[in-house]
Structure 1
Amino acid sequence: MKNIKFLSLLVCCSVLFLACNEAPKQDNQNQEKKSIIKPVSNQVLANSVIYEANIRQYSPEGTFDAFTKDIPQLKQLGVKVIWLMPVYPISMKNRKATGDLSIEDIKDPEEKKKYLGSYYAISDYTAVNSNYGTKQDFDELVKTAHENDMYVILDWVANHTGWDHKWIEQHPEYYHKDKDGNVTDPINPDTGESWGWTDVAHLNYENKDLWNAMNAEMLYWVKEHNIDGFRCDVAGNVPTDYWNQIVPQLKEIKPVFMLAESEDKDLFYEAFDMGYNWEGHHIMNEIAQGKMNVNDWDNYMKKIDTTYQEDDYLMNFITNHDENSWNGTVKERLGDASETMLAFSYTLPGMPLIYSGQEYDMNKRLKFFEKDSIPKTRAKVWPVLEKLGKLKNTIDALDGAKKAANYQRITTSEDANILAFKRLKNNSELIFMANMSDEPKSFSAEINGDFKDAMTDKDISLNSEDLHNFEPWEYRILLKP
């Protein structure tokens, strides 16, 4: 009997000993899973390219899996941040169809099926659109990105929900209402009229209970799915104080990267790392269309210097989901200036953006409310993006984040049409020089020394007395050896 008791005690002790040894092992495995990629930092973001992934239109399948398998090849383009357009279920009620019609206006059941609605009319913040796959598929996407040294940020729509969201019924107090007590779509505060976003219901941040509810939804994705931050839709339409209180809570879990769809400098004081270079984008379009010139760009850069703090930075782009679908393709807006403006967006202070399909010379407007698909044939743009991405990733002179390389304008004899500037950091130096017009130009520039042309790999010697002859939209990126 004593022997049996002794043996029982020995077995129990052994089990406890093994359990104690297993627990830390499990913790270590969890920690390893979380540590596949280094935490987000300014050091990494300084040389990053960001990729906007439109899961619905990225492939004929329109699934997480179809995008995930292509993540490794994005490394060839220097991508370090993947921004996923909204991946959540889309409301059926008041769903946008075509023109001014909503889904309720379409009577043919088969016709109704093709209208998938706006990505930004969300019915559930903590679910994924079943058309894209499962949460397990989503987790595999994040894991694959991390294994390839890329961060994943989610598109977050805090200003409004779809009309099917449970809050409409359970918490109508979370929403703006008209004089009759009806929940409204978003209203332009300057005119008092609807923006036309009739497929969404406008959230009211005067209600602090909404803050707590929205906080829980954002925290969920960082805690449970290990994402690395958010791109926040119309961030300026949500109170800055809201963002200022949620971001520290996110950062208690892990460092995060926050991108605001806004140029509002107040958002950058505490909450956001990067904003949109909307004004710069529009000036690029105007220059390409002959409506502005380099003088307008110079005035804009002076404005940037006086408007923003030294550690604020912006996302540079020649296209994105809004621009492509509503304002035209790269070729439609920029024409023969397309490659020049692409190279320009990479050499400016800030972070350059690639939108799904841009890398494949996409020359069509993607449908916004229906299924579509990008091309998948590499042509002219892919090798250009490869070269620009490698430069961005490796050249200190292209550091673009909080400790950006210096930007110095270089004087030329044709300053209204020739844009030349120098980027400097540490011992790294890069010069961008371009004819920003649709006519040949001859000019001299205050540039002296030996350089390597980054796009052709040719050596070149320049003197301030040289006369340069540039064809329309010709550009050069020069590196100091």
Structure 2
Amino acid sequence: MRRLLLAFLTVSLLISCKNEPKKDSMEATGEDTLSIAPIDNEILESAVIYEANIRQYSPEGTFDAFTKDIPQLKELGVKVIWLMPMYPISMKNRKATGGRDVADIEDPEERKKYLGSYYAISDYSAVNPEHGNMEDFDELVETAHENGMYVILDWVANHTGWDHQWLTDHKDWYTQNEKGEVVDPINDETGESWGWTDVADLNFDNQELRKAMIEEMLFWVREHDIDGFRADAAHSVPTDFWETAAEKIKEEKPVFMLAEAESPKDLFHNAFDMGYNWEGHHIMNEIAQGKKTAKDYDAYMQKIDTTFQDDDYLMNFVTNHDENSWAGTVKERMGEASEAMLALTYTLPGMPLIYSGQEYDMDKRLLFFEKDTIPKTKGKVYPLLEKLGELKNNNTALNGGKEAAAYANVETSAEEKILAFKREKDAKVLYYVANMTAKPVSFTADLSGDFQDYMSDSEVQISEGQEIQFGPWEYKILINK
């Protein structure tokens, strides 16, 4: 009886489908991205990216807890969500806070609280059960798409955790010492371990490993409709692997590729769309700490102009998971300069990053190997990010992708202290002017006219040669009227 009922329903469904009018081309292909257009450069030009630390985002540490907040991210202008690794984590050689190994902790209850590094992955094609199940993950992606946002996964290609099945089935896929023992990642310059003893180094000389790795990436694109990858330690994996991987993945659908690399310029072109602005970030920290000046940032921008191609672009940030946990909070590193530096990340060429908790004025270092949680009270930073996000999304003078708005230095009478530049595209003109010191500054600048002071929503008139006074770390975003 059950078989007859199923047959009847199947025939009925086929007849009803045959009689339905044709759907649009995207629906007709059967793609699972009906609620969002494929990601492209036009979208990325005005995008803000959000780094989601699922473990620490909520007390629950679940996909569901993050998913319910996704619609709110639209308030911040977010268009790309980067999920930190949400795969199962290896137990073997698991790390604990303070550089200890979990295995060395005698108290079994104490051992339980150490959840391990997100980057010590035991299975590339599963989700960490602490966060929920695969259906919960799919709901996260679907919710993001319904709200006009794209989801990229943190991809850790350089190494696996010590519990990964590959270590049993394909030991030859790993780097081995002269004794035939698999080793943790090695610093190529010194020949010594980086100290990442909770992971096993993969050997990309092995072509079968490369094929398997690409298949793992394709799994998430084909089966779970994700929109790209952030490549962890991208410079530690051969560039030609990333080029092949990007080519194969883009045969399935358009994707966005972000490289974590100290010198990302060598990784662009056929592999990645965007790299990290690590050097620019470190200069921001040093300016805030009085170790460098506005002139140093000018020099850095000139360096970028001569070493990167026109369609290369970088991710700008005042914090991320590494900086927060290991280098310190925004306030620790940047102090009273924090707001000027945050505004700088939105006005520079490139894409600004928000890290989980940053929007809530988070002033603590999140624990890396154990459960923690971010604050959820809106303070000073949330409305600031709302305003900056709206400007980034809607003013083409801040386009930052492959067709970025022009960037030009603006000369001032205090080059060591005042950072000033102009962005321009499609008849839209915007200026960023900031006092990059902890003391008041009087100066003149090579700009004049009637402007809107965007942050205060007031009118400003500057005449040629006019002396301007800025307080410590004061900045303005000026828009031509």
How far apart in 2 are the matches of 1:135 and 1:17?
A: 30
Letter in 1 for 2:431: I
- Partners of 1:18 and 1:38 lie apart in 2 by 30
SS at match of 1:180: coil
C-alpha distance 359-20 of structure 1, shift in aligned 2 (>3 A): closer
**Residue identity matched to 1:425:** K
Which residue in the other structure is 1:4 paired with?
Answer: none
By how many angstroms is 1:23 displaced? Answer: 10
Change (3 A) 1:469 1:92: same
Which stretch has the larger CA shift, 43-52 or 245-254? 245-254
1:145-192: CA deviation from partner (whole Å, max 9, x where unpaired)? 001100000000000000000000110000000111000000001001
TM-score by length of structure 2 reads 0.95
Corresponding position of 1:181: 180
Cα distance, 1:16 vs. partner? 10
Deviation at 1:299, TM superposition (A): 1.0
Cα separation, 2, equivalents of 1:238 and 1:275:
15
Q: Measure how far apart 1:90 and its partner are.
A: 0.3
Instruction: Give the CA deviation at 1:210.
Output: 0.1
Q: Distance in 2 between matches of 1:460 and 1:411?
A: 19
User: d(CA) in 2 for partners of 1:24 and 1:164?
Assistant: 51
2:44 paired residue number:
45
Q: CA deviation at 1:35?
A: 2.2
Which residues of 2 match residues 253-268 of structure 1 at below 5 A?
253-262=252-261, 263-268=263-268
Conserved? CA contact 1:410–1:421, under 8 Å: yes
Counterpart in the other structure of 1:323: 323
Query: How do residues 94-113 of structure 1 correspond to structure 2 at under 5 angstroms?
Result: 94-113=93-112
Q: Please state whether the residue corresponding to 1:204 is helix, strand or coil.
A: coil
| 451 and 209 in structure 1: CA distance in 2 versus 1, 3 angstrom threshold | same
CA contact (8 A) 2:316 2:345 kept: yes
Per the normalisation by structure 1, the TM-score is: 0.95
Alignment of 1:276-425 (within 5 A): 276-425=276-425
Instruction: Report SS of the residue matched to 1:404.
Output: coil
Aligned counterparts of 1:30 and 1:367: Cα–Cα separation in 2: 45
Tell me, yes or no, if the aligned pair for 1:443 and 1:468 is still in contact at 8 Å. yes
Letter in 1 for 2:258: L
1:18 aligned residue (15, 19, 24): 15
Distance across 2 between alignment mates of 1:46 and 1:35: 22
Give the drift of 1:463. Answer: 1.3
The residue that corresponds to 1:7 in the other structure is: none
The CA deviation at 1:34 is: 1.9
The 1:19/1:208 distance shift into structure 2, 3 A limit, reads farther
Q: Distance in 2 between matches of 1:16 and 1:226?
A: 26
1:156, 1:231 within 8 Å by CA — same for their partners in 2?
yes
Q: Deviations over 1:397-449 (max 9, x none)?
A: 00000010001111111011001110000110000000000110000111111
Which residues of 2 match residues 197-216 of structure 1 at below 5 A? 197-216=196-215
Query: What amino acid does structure 2 have at the position aligned with 1:399?
Result: N
Counterparts of 2:365 and 2:233, CA distance in 1: 22
**Deviation digits for residues 330-370 of structure 1, max 9, x if unmatched?**
00000000000000010000000000000000000000000
3-state DSSP class of the match of 1:83? strand
Mapped partners of 2:361, 2:312: distance in 1: 31
Q: How many angstroms does 1:22 deviate by?
A: 8.0
Native 8 Å contact 1:446 1:463 kept in 2: no
Q: Following TM superposition, by how much is the alpha carbon of 1:56 offset from its aligned partner in structure 2, in angstroms?
A: 0.1
**Which segments of 5 or more consecutive residues in structure 2 lack a partner in the other structure?**
1-7
Bigger mean CA offset, 91-100 vs 281-290:
91-100
* Contact 2:97–2:368 (CA under 8 A) maintained in structure 1: no
The aligned residue for residue 5 of structure 2 is none
**Structure 1 residue 464: Cα displacement:** 2.4
Deviates most, 379-388 or 94-103 = 94-103
Change beyond 3 A, Cα 1:354–1:126 = same
Over 3 Å counting, the alpha-carbon distance change for 1:465 and 1:214 in structure 2 is: same
| Cα distance between partner residues in 1 of 2:99 and 2:447 | 55
How many Å apart are 1:21 and its aligned residue? 2.0
CA distance in 2, matches of 1:346, 1:93: 41
The one-letter amino acid of 1:84's match is L
Work out the CA distance in 2 between the residues paired with 1:167 and 1:24: 49
Computing the radius of gyration from Cα coordinates, the structure with the larger value is: 1
Residue 4 (structure 2) aligns with = none
Alpha-carbon distance in 2 for matches of 1:28, 1:426: 34
Q: CA deviation at 1:294?
A: 1.1
Deviation at 1:321, TM superposition (A): 0.1
- In the other structure, the counterpart of 1:62 is 61
Q: Residue 266 of structure 1: CA displacement?
A: 1.8
**1:317 counterpart letter in structure 2:** F
Conservation of the 8 A alpha-carbon contact between 1:360 and 1:375 = yes
Matches within 5 A, 1:151-170: 151-170=150-169
What is the percentage of aligned positions where both structures have the same residue? Answer: 65
CA apart distance, 1:98: 2.3
Change (3 A) 1:17 1:159: closer
Shifted more, 104-113 versus 159-168: the winner is: 104-113
Hey, what's the Cα distance between the residues in 2 that align with 1:29 and 1:334?
52
Unaligned runs of 5+ in 1: 1-10
